[in-house]
Structure 1
């Protein structure tokens, strides 16, 4: 956990294989940068919610709110009359042309493939579309971009509910959470424009005529990190944090740009070697406040890390997050045979430790499985599902489909065919050949043998045991899983 009393900035990257709790670590850190504000009335809550949101974010928030109440299709009058939209208009001292504002936002951020919206000057990112009745809805692909707004809406609804239930009781513990952090997820298309600043279209309302409409212009807009830096600069007594999930998924040099030189702790504003640069689009002088901390996660199984090491190793502390099998429980498996009604156990910690030991021997440390794969397993049926749907496909990719390696990892080599997790393909072929030959000997006119060989040789070189998929036979017994222990 971060030391909130310190003055020196913190730059940390949590590294490890998939499923070791790196993102969970970020969520725990986020709590340290969250505080409860004093109890406020509903108007104050609305004002706090919409204060820093753009009109596009307001419209998204309205549609998310309707969707949370199971109403997906919304018409413009409903948007304009919504409390969020009205609160934003009141903050901006706007009383007229509100419908025009809503229409402009919706059309500008509509899908380029829309069959119902004809609009020339669309923004690069689409959020909305309209059906043939004139009702608007959020595009499914936009939900990933609205994670932070969804969280803000959820917190507002929770506080609003508490305020309604307890409005007759003075309870200073009930309030609104203020987040002094911003969380972003890097991906291949994420760039400087989203993180620092970029030129983006904005709608400007004209009040010269009663029937006037909004016009589009372009201006430099601040990105997620720059907005947070401005908040931190205006509140120097508090610490702020940018939380970056999967920092290695984007081109870090392109995302940070000239800020890559400023993120080092001693280069921050007010520090010994403080630096100032001129931003690429606005040209304004900028330095990163000393009360900004940067936390990120990095998946070491990604093979594009070499350039990142060179760019970030000097600027960040790297903290390894290894698998922690000791956190996993023991599951209990009742025995239902007439001679044995006891309860057997499967120690998930030992099971994961055994798999990882053999993975390390064959493929190296970076091939290990994180404990999150088995975190939610509470019974044998769930264990079987995780093995079939997650773990074996993950190891198939890690081994390049090498059957011998897979069989070694699951200790299948010396096991009878029916007890193998990954069944021996040659045994499978031989068994099928014998069946086909028996069939052909009984049916001399059959020509199916050649067809069998053509089909068999074209199949994958491994097969997950069908009994494991069904949870029957040897895989209904704890002993088959216990053999995976170290």
Structure 2
């Protein structure tokens, strides 16, 4: 098992899939567990049976799947046969055992099986291709075996339905009001079950609870997943645990540290089998800045916009619009004018299935965000949306009067103090306009 703990923060602009990365990590720290081991159920089924009964079970089970002819190899490889071999601690000559049993319990007058010491009751026979089958008359004698098989299958089904997912992680989302009391420990009101009076107890927070679980289960790894870590005051949230989360200071490490928690005064250290993953939006400058003491305890992995995950949609005439090229074109000009922190993530376009979806995303998400970021940089907006080049302006100078798309777009627009969404674009999104210029491929290719 990995012994060195991980502290990783995934950074990037909005829409690059950082939260999705946490969700995928959560699956890695989860395990499906069934209350009853299926292998044990199978072993119990065949433990007292002889080879003839085991092979009959194989035929009955395969018959339920619609297969009645079986080669010897298929019989030997079947889980029921293998379970019996395991109980008998047999690995060699299994085909010989199967062959001998099949031949022994074949009909005396069989035309395909030449065997001297045949049993009085036949159960199997084979055809000219050496495929074996269960005799029809023998099926009537196997009611008890069929009942055993039914009970086994019912137990397996119930076990699968009762399957539980063990979660070895805790996921929280930081916000401005999130604090030490929720993450480490705090004093919370509680009603006494006996007196019905209010009392105040010290309760462990999300991180301490996870560490307690991990400490009791040292052979498995646990994960603390924190979404939007820079939305809270991390120094206040982590408190005295700031030093303890450092990989070299975890329990069991060379420089292990322990502190007394603020409320309970209980000695506490962070287990080495706890990993910490977080996401951080680098685009919103109103969020809390992580100080250098906190940052040095983490690795930072930048998640860049990934246009390769995007597909295509068709415009009203059937021409294809490449969403990846659209994203790359916009981001290229955004980086050149506003910098990388103003970029767009690919998830903006994940739900786009039609050109109408694309138009709505552009008008209600992408463009309002860029208008906000570049509100004091009209020259940047003019370059990002190629206002001087395109015949279909997405933005128009801010005015109290609607601007019609036939108005010429020229360099004079760059001197305007601000822009607004073209009213005709808004009408197209709302479906109140019959003008479909905005939903043709030329409108979007102009932004490649």
TM over 0.5: yes
CA contact (8 A) 2:313 2:320 kept: yes
Match of 2:154 among 152, 168, 185: 168
- 1:333-348 alignment to 2 at 5 Å? 333-335=315-317, 343-348=318-323
When the two chains are superposed, the root-mean-square deviation of aligned CA atoms in Å is 2.5
- 2:265 is aligned with 1:283: yes
Aligned to 2:183: 195
Q: Aligned partners of 1:479 and 1:264: how far apart in 2?
A: 54
Aligned to 1:424: 397
Q: Aligned partners of 2:245 and 2:403: how far apart in 1?
A: 62
CA apart distance, 1:460? 7.0
CA apart distance, 1:39? 3.3
CA apart distance, 1:469? 3.9
Aligned to 1:272: 254
Aligned to 1:473: 436
Aligned to 1:303: 285
Change (3 A) 1:347 1:221: same
CA apart distance, 1:468? 5.2
- 2:178 is aligned with 1:182: no
- 2:422 is aligned with 1:464: yes
Match of 1:8 among 4, 17, 36: 4
Which digits, 9 at most, give the CA deviation of each residue in 1:299-343, with x for residues without a partner? 0012257841513321011000000011110112242xxxxxxx2
Change (3 A) 1:464 1:334: closer
Between structure 1 and structure 2, the one with the greater Rg is: 2
CA contact (8 A) 1:421 1:468 kept: no
Match of 1:329 among 311, 332, 337: 311
Q: Aligned partners of 1:333 and 1:430: how far apart in 2?
A: 25
CA contact (8 A) 1:248 1:299 kept: yes
Which digits, 9 at most, give the CA deviation of each residue in 1:361-383, with x for residues without a partner? 11100000000001111110000
Q: Which runs of 5+ in 2 are unaligned?
A: 37-151, 408-416, 430-434
Aligned to 2:31: 35
TM-score by length of 2: 0.66
Which digits, 9 at most, give the CA deviation of each residue in 1:4-51, with x for residues without a partner? x311101100000000000000000000110112137xxxxxxxxxxx
Tell me, what secondary structure is at the counterpart of 1:293?
A: strand
CA contact (8 A) 1:421 1:465 kept: no
Which digits, 9 at most, give the CA deviation of each residue in 1:138-173, with x for residues without a partner? xxxxxxxxxxxxxxxxxxxxxxxxxxxx99352354
Q: Which runs of 5+ in 1 are unaligned?
A: 41-165, 207-212, 336-342, 435-458
TM-score by length of 1: 0.61
CA apart distance, 1:284? 1.2
Tell me, what secondary structure is at the counterpart of 2:348?
A: helix
CA contact (8 A) 1:384 1:469 kept: no
CA apart distance, 1:415? 3.7
Tell me, what secondary structure is at the counterpart of 1:225?
A: helix
Q: Aligned partners of 1:16 and 1:467: how far apart in 2?
A: 30
CA contact (8 A) 2:9 2:300 kept: yes
CA contact (8 A) 2:228 2:280 kept: yes
Change (3 A) 1:380 1:401: farther
Tell me, what secondary structure is at the counterpart of 2:264?
A: coil
Tell me, what secondary structure is at the counterpart of 1:183?
A: strand
